[in-house]
Structure 1
Amino acid sequence: MDQPWHYLVLLGAFVIVLSFAMPKRSRPSAPVGDMELALEQFMQSIEEENKELANIVGAAQREQKEALSSSEQRIAALEKRSEELQRRYVELEQQLGEQIKLHQAEVAAKLSELGSRQQVHADTGAASPLPAEEEMPVSDRISDRYADLLAMHHQGKSMEYIAKKLGLNKGEVQLIVQLSAQEERHRA
């Protein structure tokens, strides 16, 4: 065994036995090139989906900005309209107040004139300008013509309620109530 070829044969036999004894390494089912190609395609599809998603988000943001802008414009227009209506309301309220004052002044003037006439007639002994209850036809008495109005007034309803319910002006209701009270005093 001193010869070198024996060593070589023994070494060769050992390598062969060892090669059979060791488990074989499994080869990948797909070559590495196919894997790289699949990864590139996957990355490409992800990038395309990201671009589509970015476009969708961008479009949604633009729509939201447009809607917000439109809403702000409508709000500004409504606020302007509200201010105009408020100003108009104040003007109409002032005009109504002035008309009520004028109407009340006219009624007061007529009542004072009527009172002064009655005073003059009472002082001179002349007949009263208002006929007595028995002389006055039933349909000419205020309490008969406006019985429903006076009934509501006696129930404690407000002048505004009565005017609204009967479709009259508040000043008219006040005048009818005052004239009815004056008529009652003359009958008494």
Structure 2
Amino acid sequence: MAPWMMIALLGLVIVVFAGLIPRSRSKNGEAGGSKELVREMEETMDSFASDLEEQNNALIELFKNTKQEHQIEVAKLHARLEVLEQQRREPAAPVPAADQLAASQASASRGQSAVFTSAGIKMPVDARHEDPKPHSLDSPGAVEPIWSTAAASEEAVANVDPVASVRLRYAELLEMYSKGRSTEQIAKQFGMNKGEVMLILQLARQEDSARETK
């Protein structure tokens, strides 16, 4: 029941009780009737106040439940928004370590299979320089030890003059650098990378220092 309806009923009860009071009473009768009326009025007011308190408590409880449900929904929406933002900020999946190792090994093998020509251009070593006719196990040259080949290669490398391997092979490149050409211009002229040109210049300086110390 709405509060205004309770107030209206209370006023109606007061009017009814006021009309029922007899106007012609003795003093004793008037005193007893007044006490009874006061008692009934107090009971009515207590009942009315109790009803109002119950209604107020029910409204407060309903408001608390509604507010709690609203807070729960807001927390869920915030959590979902944070998950979406985290997924958007996450970078691409990193390359596994095994794939990186395989890629580095492949790059190293390709770098080892390339040699410098006299002009400073890398020429990959392939099977065209090998013997097109494979040796069979029955042929005399098929049983040559691998150690003899490795020893011959090391001896050939040791007998190469370091000055001739750099100063003579890259004489034109070093001459251009001595004339003031930049490493970018030299690399563009010979079709090389800038790092290769800098490596050749560094080797030439080291050889010059080694010759001066001898």
TM-score normalised by the shorter chain: which range applies? Answer: 0.3 to 0.5
The normalised TM-score by structure 1 is 0.40
The normalised TM-score by structure 2 is 0.36
